[in-house]
Amino acid sequence: MENPAPSPLEIYKVLPQTNCGKCILPSCLAFAAAVAAGNRKLTECPDLAPEIASGFAARHGEPEGGRDRNLVQAEFVDRLQRKMTAVDFERIAPVIGARLDSGHLVINSLGKDFRVDRQGNLVSECHIIPWVQIPLLSYITNPTHAEISGRWISFRELKGGIDWQGLFTSRCEQPLRKLADGNPDLLQDIIDLFMGRSIEWYEADIALVLHPLPKIPILICYQAPDDDLDSALTIFFDKCCGMNLHIKAIFTLCSGLVQMFAKVADHHR
């Protein structure tokens, strides 16, 4: 019988537990959670001896880099789809900003409609990929739902955000800032292509609001480089986002958006 996947606590016990921050995550426990989720590799810890990582992988019957990410995603989607069978579509539709059509939930994401049946299967004119599928099903099955508040907060202020802040900065904000630096028209293109809205924001050259999901508004604020000052980009979230979606799903959604924006930038080049 195969050994079960190690828990974050089991992984944490083999780490140096110094919270050095070299992995760009705020703590060794956060790094352990990322390894357990398949988002990081144990060998990415700069201070962990290779023989310890190899020995741990051997004991748990797993490849040194952790479980295959596609397998982890498939298992997670399967769990979400099982949860979908218990969802009352008639009740939840107005709560999450969706509508009913022929027994399906129809949810708009960035101007595109996604149809979801009672088994959690998605249909859209867009290609269905995990970074869309997982957050969307998580959004529907989330146990709590709040209305949009109009109050913007940082990622680290969201519930659980502190543990994911380092990864969010390195996978979302920093790559998007570099894309904006190299493509001056990119953020305006995003507004035009994905039903965005430009707003005034203190000390931002461009501030745009997007709705990846109906009640998950995000605000991207970009300040272009000026003389000796580097550029800056921060992604904010309406306070309701922490109630409407788990922090891991928010991270998945944002990292997927950045990958999509990179493809837009490549197309324009």
Q: Per residue in 115-154, pLDDT tens?
A: 999 999 999 877 667 788 999 999 999 999 999 999 999 9
Q: 172: which DSSP letter?
A: I
pLDDT of residue 118: 95
| pLDDT band, very low/low/confident/very high, at 47 (cuts 50, 70, 90) | confident
Question: CA–CA separation, 146 vs 266, rounded Å?
Answer: 37
Sign of the torsion formed by the C-alpha atoms of 223, 224, 230 and 235: positive
CA distance 197 to 91: 29
What phi and psi values does residue 15 have, to the nearest 5 degrees? -80, 160
Nearest to 257 by CA among 176, 177, 166, 137: 176
Least confident of 52-66, 71-85, 183-197, 202-216: 52-66
In the structure encoding, which two tokens stand for residue 129, read together?
């990929």
Domain residue ranges of the chain, discontinuous segments joined by +: 8-67, 70-141, 152-268
- The DSSP bridge pattern shows strands 104-109 and 112-116 to be antiparallel
Three-state secondary-structure class, residue 218: strand
| % of the chain exceeding 90 in pLDDT | 57
Please count the helices (runs of H) and the strands (runs of E) in the chain.
11, 9
Q: Which CATH number fits domain 8-67: 3.40.50.300, 3.40.50.620, 3.20.20.60, 1.10.15.40?
A: 1.10.15.40
